[in-house]
Amino acid sequence: MIKKLATAVGLIAAASAAQAAELEITLTNATQGVYFTPVFAAAHDDNISIFQTGSAASAALELMAEGGAIGDLVTAATNASANVSDGGNSAAPGASNGPVAPGAKVTFNISTDDGNDYLSLAAMLLPTNDGFVGLSNWKIPSEAGTYTINLNAYDAGTEYNDELASSQPNPPFLTTFGNPGGNGVVTSGGTGVGPTGDENGVVHIHRGNLGDLDANGGASDINSAVHRWLNPVARLTVVVQ
């Protein structure tokens, strides 16, 4: 069973032995109109879990999924002796490369030394309430080669998916890069999508943005012609060297 720390970050480190390797990782945004916030990625041992479907999100994952902030995930992974990405836009919170646009890609490197032979990754989807693209505990192959993984969108289960512009996040990095996820979002007028109240409290596959085409009202403030998606939402290419 995957363990969690008693702290809010939900990460645990444990010693294990494995052959060191270098990874070149390319994340491609496969959506039409959804942006990814700066990416958290780390190589770690098999006792670390940044998320599990059917389980409650950690406080660190909640911050990332609701506002794009990866600082707590980076800190937790580093404290757990994981190897956090040293390049691309997953190097640090608010990294200079900014969000990953639809159809765009970002490439970075990670080492797998010290037994860190599992890979995890997460980035918020804009615009959503608490949606993110994620990979959890993928076993890094020991054989050199190129490996491709399709990634799904998940819902952190921490915020009601009302799809209202007033509920969309405003992470600090958007001050520099603008609000790309806001492109196509109606400024006001929606009444809120679905039943009111909290979500079910656990991480699960995201139902996707429903949206509508009513620029002056309707249920959603998200443009259904721009920001709907079907899984998978990303392609991950891992080159094991």
pLDDT at 4 over 50: no
186/182 Cα distance (integer angstroms): 8
**Architecture of the domain whose range is 22-231:** Sandwich (2.60)
Q: Across residues 156-184, what is the average pLDDT?
A: 69
pLDDT at 93 over 90: no
In degrees rounded to 5, what are phi and psi of residue 142?
A: -80, -20
Q: How confident is the model at residue 166 (pLDDT cuts 50, 70, 90)?
A: confident
pLDDT 10s digits, 48-67:
899 999 999 999 999 999 98
| pLDDT, the chain, mean | 81
Note whether 91 and 173 are within 8 A (CB): no
Strand order in the sheet with 105-111: 105-111, 22-29, 234-240, 145-151
CA-based nearest residue to 3, from 188, 137, 102? 137
pLDDT 10s digits, 197-234:
557 899 999 999 998 988 888 898 888 988 899 999 99
pLDDT 10s digits, 112-145:
887 899 999 999 998 889 999 999 999 999 999 9
pLDDT (0 to 100) of residue 147 = 98
38/111 Cα distance (integer angstroms): 19
Greatest extent of the chain over all pairs of C-alpha atoms, in Å: 58
